[in-house]
Amino acid sequence: MQLQCLNLRDCWRLPEQTLSYIGGLSRLSCLDMQNVNSLTDSSASTFLTGITTLRSLNLSGTGVSDGVLEGLTYGQRLRAWVDQKHITKCAGGTTFSTESSDHTHNLLEQWKPFELVYLRLQNTRVTKAAVPLMLAFGELLFVDVRDTEISGRSLKSLQAKHKLISLPNNAKILARWNSLIVSTLQGSCGCSSLEYSALTAQFRLKEQCDGSTQWEQDGVTRLLLAANRDTSLRSRNGH
Residue 49 shares a structural domain with residue 90: no
The single-letter code of the amino acid at 78 is L
User: Between these two residues, 142 and 221, which has the higher pLDDT value?
Assistant: 142
In the chain, the largest separation of any two C-alpha atoms, in whole Å, equals 64
Residue 153 shares a structural domain with residue 59: yes
> C-alpha distances in angstroms, 161 versus 15, 131, 138, 141, 145?
38, 12, 9, 11, 17
Residue 88 shares a structural domain with residue 126: no
User: Which residue, of 62, 86, 111, is where some domain finishes?
Assistant: 111
Residue 175 shares a structural domain with residue 224: yes
As for how many domains the chain has, the answer is 2
**223-236 mean pLDDT:** 56
Residue 197 shares a structural domain with residue 91: no
- What is the structure's pLDDT at 49? 84
Residue 135 shares a structural domain with residue 99: no
**207-233 mean pLDDT:** 52
Residue 104 shares a structural domain with residue 122: no
Residue 66 shares a structural domain with residue 181: yes
Range of the domain at 58: 5-73+114-236
Of the candidates 49, 88, 85, the one whose C-alpha atom is nearest the C-alpha of residue 67 is 49
User: Which residue, of 55, 86, 111, is where some domain finishes?
Assistant: 111
Residue 185 shares a structural domain with residue 232: yes
Across all residues in the chain, what is the average pLDDT?
81
**14-39 mean pLDDT:** 94
